[in-house]
Amino acid sequence: REQGMNVGDIFIEDDVWISSNSVILPNCRIGKGAIIAAGAVVTNNVDSFSIVGGVPAKEIRRRDYTE
């Protein structure tokens, strides 16, 4: 309890999938249509329509988006 805590916001845009046991650290933005893989640790912003996974989370691939 004496080590302190960093407080920050997490911004999650529309149509985002966040899988089980994933962790999103403060001050991160998850872009529209992104997918976070199970067990991923998100330490940086995630681009729209990208798929990320791992520790720390890295882009695995991009989703095709057609409107």
Chain mean position to CA 40: 8
Q: How confident is the model at residue 67 (pLDDT cuts 50, 70, 90)?
A: low
For the four alpha carbons of 7, 32, 52 and 58, in that order, the dihedral sign comes to negative
19-60 tens-digit pLDDT: 999 999 999 999 999 999 999 999 999 999 999 999 999 999
CA dist., res. 28 & res. 46, Å (int): 8
